[in-house]
Amino acid sequence: MGKGHSGALVTIVERKMRFTVSTSVNNKSAETVTAATIALLEPYRNVVETITADNGKEFAYHEKMTADLGCGVYFADPYCSWQRGLNENTNGLLRQYWPKSTNFKKIEESEVKSVIVKLNDRPRKNLITKAQLN
């Protein structure tokens, strides 16, 4: 979320490989976030099995995501951000590029894509063993 609710980023992180996709949106309405999520995951619809979201109003149309992407949508328990720890950590990494005072309405989509490429190329600690990946 940007300063004074000025735009936002929709960020989705794959749990095992840490692959991240993101896009900027003008607001956090359920319609906008649902459309952005579907657009981000459409190229990967064959491998998307589940989405875990927080309990915000922006995920009110989770049934549409389920229908369009053919995956399950689950919700973290209220006030349990650790249940989505990887996503929270990724959002913290994005804050290295865009501090809290950033107006995301002024950020170009090409800049978002450039930062996501850098983030996906960045080595990240992974505690999952090779046996768990199989």
- Residues 65-102: tens digit of each pLDDT: 999 999 999 999 998 988 998 999 999 999 999 998 88
Residue 7, pLDDT above cutoff 90: no
Q: Which residues contact 84 (CB under 8 A, 6 or more apart)?
A: 52, 53, 54, 76
52 in Cβ contact with 81 (< 8 Å) = no
Burial profile 34-56: b = 16 or more Cβ within 10 angstroms, e = fewer: bbbbbebbeeeeeebeebbbbee
pTM: 0.84
pLDDT value of residue 1? 72
- 126, burial (CB in 10 Å: exposed 0-12, middle 13-18, buried 19+): exposed
Structure tokens at 5: 């609710």
